[in-house]
A and B are shown apart, each in its own frame.
Chain A
Amino acid sequence: MPDNDAALGDLRVLDLAGEIGQYCTKLLADLGADVIKVEPPTGDPVRALPPHLDDGSEMSLYWLNLNTNKRSVTLDIENPDARPILEKLIATADVVVESFDPGYLDGLGLGYEGLSRINPDIILTSITGFGQTGLHAHYKAPDIVGVAMSGVQWLAGEPMDPPNVPPWRQGYISASIIGAAGTLIALFHRDNTGEGQHVDVSMQEALSLAQETAMQTWDMNEALRVRAGSRGVIPFDIPGIGVYECNDGHVFGYLGTPGGAPWSEMLTWMVEEGKAEGLDEEPYKTFIDNLNLRFLTGIVADPSTLGEKIQTMAHMVGILRKFTASKSKWEMYEEGQRRRLMWGIVSTPKDIADNPQLKFRKWLTPVNHPERDKTLEYPGPPYRFSETPWTIRMRPPLIGEHNAEILGELGIDKAEWGRLSQAGAV
């Protein structure tokens, strides 16, 4: 539904996208665009994906999250009888987002050329595994294939395991974020010049930057970063760096790095609680005073310089592990951070929901589903605007919920609508 006071309140988007592109159209819809989701008469297949709402309703939470603020019209885009409606919709749209196999829409006369004949300044955003051109353009590319080919999976996991796929379709998410950005860059150009264009997004390319330094490391030094797991790049434990167990979960430490308090602050905490176990005496005290980024960078560059300090560090790690194991993860995180120590909680999904900061900022967003007499706490905004707030103003649509409304807006009367229904076009 349009919301003219919103950032994208004057924008109409025709959403033909499958799973890979639905976070893109969600981003646009949540910023106010009127996103019309064109579903096959049987419904978007993504509606069937887990996790489901645990009330016997078969509602997909995965789908609900991706389809806030969208209107739904059912239309069989391959059916010639539906074509006049589709063309009318295209004529009113600013943007079309799609994720079909490259060339599929061309085959229906609805590729960029076809669309721009109907609507000359249209922006078409295509989001696929490998983009519109090139050797792999037609590869089947679910999330795992894009993630594998992007270089990101190669870096994740323990050396004894297969490389890890990141959770919850990070390839799709990245492709969608870049799809939304590309769409808005094209929109800026159209705002200035009146010219539309075709935006081509490849999941492989969109995610590729998340290789961190791996690409440059190979390019500059012919050295290959590999998955190093919990050890990271250093073949022994450094006190306060990495995953530490608490009495109810884990925290992750990065003590001694810039911005945070020095390791000696951690020692102060341990002494205060009577749990320093001699770390406030030599040789540990002096070692702790010198445990800083320069030292860390030095041992990464040349671990052989360490000598007996390896035993010193192993001893410290043992005592620190006893300390964290005596505390809850929230106490380690919040009290540690109050002391400006670089500790982070390893949050479970429950911890995210309980996080005091997110609660204070009302990140979770209640959305009412009146037809089920139910209010669900939706995941909230990735960003906040002072003038044009991010909102969920409309719960995700039922299949074809807005057929009558949208056809009415297009000036299609009931008799015509009945005829099209008979023909299976809508």
Chain B
Amino acid sequence: MTQQALAGVKVADFSWFGAGPICANHLASYGATVVRVESETHVDALRGVAPFAKEKTGYNVSGYFNNFNAGKLGITLNMNTPEGQGVGRKLIEWADVFLTNITPRVIERWGLTYENLSQWNPRIIAAYQPMQGYDGPHKSFLGFGAILTPITGYSYISGFPERNPIGLGTNYPDYVINPGHTLVAILAALHYRKRTGTGQRVECAQIESSVAPLAPAIFDYTANGVVQNRSGNHIPNAAPHNAFKCAPLTDGGRPMDERWIAIACFSDEEWNALAEAMGDPDWARDEKFEAFDNRKEHEDELDANISAWTADRDAYALMEDLQKRGVPAGVVQGARELLDEDAHIKERGYYVYLDHSETGRAAYDGPPAVLNKTPGKLQAPAPLLGEHTEYVCKEILGLGDDEIAELMIAGALQ
């Protein structure tokens, strides 16, 4: 078998929570050796956040944490001790890539500035993910995904105009946008280093990385002075474009029993196919809905009419029928559907089940892209807290038993 694409790439992962660990998780999935640095004195808060494996407690059973840390070697290191900082430096001398999303104040206190790192290891690629950046008037502002979602504009332009700007129900930029941009930056820097031998500092300030995907709204303001508002599920170039309620899963009336289907028509062809699927009802042949501009003008009425038609239909059967007719449609799936119902994603093997010594068998998100010759693979489940401390000290840093004992006495390996 061909070796994995990133085999031989060594990553010192000094990150925590979501944006940093997910980035390193992807590097590990394509073959990099990732050492995740944690500390017992300041445990990654995600280890304490639900969901937990059933009837299990402790730091090793959070599905939130575990899903972002598969395939990494986990060590504990107290960077607030001089001895711990010494081990940190050894890791940086070993690594090709350094990664952190810890706040700049702490990174500076630990001496992990690029100035120091590049002296210890001139070829290192040092990736920093500060909330606001390492300079500027808001440099020391606090935050995490929940605060970043409103600050970066997602909340204001998400949802329906008559509602409060509540955001997307998650800490949205933490999971794909920020780790993904950082991953692109690190890989580009690796390619440049291959070509020139030069390492560098990369800064993916989370505010900048998060606002970049909202470019059309920002551009509309800087170029036209237009302040876009929340516009529900409608977009300018499609009608209908919404989610429509279907027959519920059971008649229990609970939110989890709801079933919705997303339907969108961008062209007359798609609209005509939808009308045909609905059995060519008279309302659909009304001139109110004849051309795109008419449908756009009467979109709320259009939505109501379509909703009346979908209300007692099975969402999956409807999706299949509409797709067969060339109408864009997709069930608004929840996690239950993704894991249990979606035969397509099962066939592709996206979700991966791994045996973990404390949680038992659990589902993980798999590698995010399929590479046909060097496919990604989750090498192992997430590490237990400190699981590989001894291994990393011995096998990666080449420390002897006596040195390790001294470090333990100094409290450096906690």
By a CB distance below 8 angstroms, the chain B residues around A146 are: 330
Question: Nearest Cβ in chain A — how far from B245, in angstroms?
Answer: 7
Q: B242 — which chain A residues lie within 8 A by C-beta?
A: 162
Q: Do residues A168 and B216 form an inter-chain contact, with CB atoms below 8 A?
A: yes
A54 lies within 8 A of B223 (CB): yes
CB neighbours of B22 from chain A (8 A): 209
Chain A residue nearest to B171 in the complex (CB) = A212
| Contacting residue for B150 out of A132, A170, A191, A345, CB 8 A | A345
- Are B142 and A260 touching (Cβ within 8 A)? yes
Which of the four size classes fits the interface of chain A? 35 or more
Q: CA separation between A103 and B344, bound complex, in Å?
A: 17
Chain B contact residues (Cβ within 8 angstroms of A): what range?
A: 35 or more
Q: Establish whether residues B370 and A200, one from each chain, have CB atoms under 8 Å apart when the complex forms.
A: yes
A373 to chain B, nearest CB (A): 15
Q: Name A182's contact: one of B152, B255, B369 (CB within 8 Å).
A: B369
Does B309 belong to the interface (CB within 8 Å)? Answer: no
CA distance A147 to B333 in the complex (A): 9
Residues of B within 8 A of A51 (CB): 216, 219-220, 224, 226, 228, 236
Given known A-B contacts A8-B191, A347-B156, A348-B153, A167 and B51 have beta carbons under 8 A apart? no
For B64, list chain A residues within 8 Å (CB).
212-213, 216
> Are B208 and A337 in contact, CB atoms less than 8 angstroms apart?
no
Cα(A347)–Cα(B72), bound, Å: 37
CB of B166 within 8 A of CB of A229, answer yes
- Which of A144, A227, A344 touches B264 (beta carbons < 8 Å)? A144
A144 touches B328 (CB 8 A): yes
B394 CB, nearest partner CB in chain A, Å: 28
Structural contact, A156 and B168, CB atoms closer than 8 A: yes
- Judging by beta carbons under 8 Å apart, are B347 and A166 in contact? no
Determine which of A167, A188, A220, A342 lies in contact with B143 in the assembled complex, contact meaning CB atoms within 8 Å: A342
Q: When the two chains form their complex, are residues B165 and A346 in contact, meaning their CB atoms are under 8 A apart?
A: yes
CB neighbours (8 Å) of A337 from chain B are: 138, 141-142
Q: What residues of A have a CB within 8 angstroms of the CB of B176 in the complex?
A: 174, 177-178, 206-207, 209-210
Using an 8 Å CB-CB cutoff, how does the interface string of A395-425 with B read, 1 for contact, 0 for none?
A: 0000000000000000000000000000000
Q: Name the segment of A57-65, A79-87, A271-279, A320-328 touching the other chain.
A: A57-65
Selected contact of A156 from candidates B141, B169, B184, CB within 8 Å: B169
State in angstroms the CA–CA spacing of A225 and B163 once bound together: 21
Q: Is B99 an interface residue (CB 8 A)?
A: no
A313 interface residue per 8 A CB criterion = no
Contact present for A65 and B216 (CB under 8 Å): yes
Beyond A151-B334, A346-B150, A384-B202, is A145–B182 a contact (Cβ under 8 Å)? Answer: no
Question: A377 touching B335 by the CB < 8 A rule?
Answer: no
Known A156-B159, A198-B372: A144·B150 in contact at CB below 8 Å: no
Nearest-CB residue, chain B, relative to A226: B255
Contact of B260 with A209 in the complex, beta carbons under 8 Å: no
Contact, CB under 8 Å: A162 / B63:
no
**Bound: A378/B216 CA distance, A:** 10
List which A198-221 residues lie within 8 A (CB) of chain B. Answer: 198-202, 204-221
Q: Identify whether the interface residues of A are mostly helix, strand, loop, or mixed.
A: mixed
Complex contact A166–B345 (CB within 8 A): no
A349 and B141 alpha carbons, distance in the complex (Å): 20
Cβ distance B118 to chain A, nearest Cβ, rounded Å: 9
- Is B247's beta carbon under 8 Å from chain A? no
Q: Given contacts A170-B213, A349-B227, are A139 and B323 in contact (CB under 8 A)?
A: yes
Minimum C-beta distance from A252 to chain B (A): 4
Residue of A7, A224, A230 near B192 (CB, 8 A) is A7
- The CA-CA distance from A184 to B5 in the complex, in Å, is 10
Q: Which residues of B contact A62 (CB under 8 A)?
A: 216, 219
Interface residues of A in 344-372 (CB under 8 A from B): 344-353, 355-358, 360-361, 363-364
Q: Does B252 contact A (CB under 8 A)?
A: no
CB nearest neighbor in B for A195 = B373
B380 within 8 A of A: no
A153 CB, nearest partner CB in chain B, Å: 5
- Pair A149/B331 contact, Cβ less than 8 Å: yes
Given known A-B contacts A149-B331, A185-B187, A352 and B153 have beta carbons under 8 A apart: yes
Q: Please, which residues of chain B bring their CB within 8 A of the CB of A21? A: none
With contacts A178-B180, A226-B256, A348-B153 taken as known, whether A7 is within 8 angstroms of B166 at the C-beta atoms is no
Complex contact B211–A379 (CB within 8 A): yes
In the complex, identify which listed stretch (A70-78, A280-288, A303-311, A385-393) lies at the interface while the others stay far away. Answer: A385-393
**Choice from A173, A220, A353 contacting B52 with Cβ under 8 Å:** A220
Please, which residues of chain A bring their CB within 8 A of the CB of B30?
185
Residues of B contacting A197 with CB < 8 Å? 371-374
Indicate which residue in A164, A360, A380 contacts B135 across the interface (CB closer than 8 Å): A360
Interface string of A103-147 (1 = CB under 8 A from B): 000000000100000000000000000111111110111101111
261-314 of chain B: CB within 8 A of chain A: 261-262, 264, 266, 270
Contact A349 B371 (CB under 8 A): no
Q: Does B372 lie within 8 Å of A180, measured CB to CB?
A: no
Whether B377 sits at the interface, judged by CB under 8 Å, is no
A358 to B136, CA, bound (A): 8
Which of B187, B201, B339, B373 contacts A219 (CB under 8 A)? B339
Check if B185 is an interface residue, CB within 8 A of chain A: yes
- A149 and B342 contacting across the interface, CB-CB below 8 Å: yes
Chain B residues within an 8 Å CB radius of A259? 103, 142, 144
In the complex, B327 has a CB within 8 A of chain A: yes
Contact of B374 among A10, A189, A258 (CB under 8 A): A189
Known: A51-B220, A178-B180. Is A225-B153 also a contact (CB below 8 A)?
no
Closest approach, in angstroms, between the C-beta of A193 and any C-beta of chain B?
8
Q: Which of A151, A195, A387 contacts B200 (CB 8 A)?
A: A387
Contacts of B370 in A (CB 8 A): 131-132, 199-202
Distance between Cα atoms of A384 and B212 in the complex (Å): 13
A157 at the interface (CB under 8 A from B): yes
Q: Is the CB–CB distance between A383 and B202 below 8 Å?
A: yes
A299 within 8 A of B: no
Contacting A at CB under 8 A, from B180-222, are 180-185, 187-192, 194-195, 198, 200-205, 207-209, 211-222
Besides the contacts A185-B371, A350-B227, what 13 more A-B pairs have beta carbons closer than 8 Å?
A7-B189, A51-B219, A131-B370, A144-B264, A152-B170, A186-B5, A211-B175, A216-B63, A217-B50, A250-B156, A355-B207, A379-B222, A387-B201
| 12 interchain pairs, CB-CB under 8 A | A61-B220, A61-B224, A62-B219, A147-B262, A157-B159, A177-B184, A187-B187, A201-B369, A210-B175, A243-B155, A349-B227, A363-B208
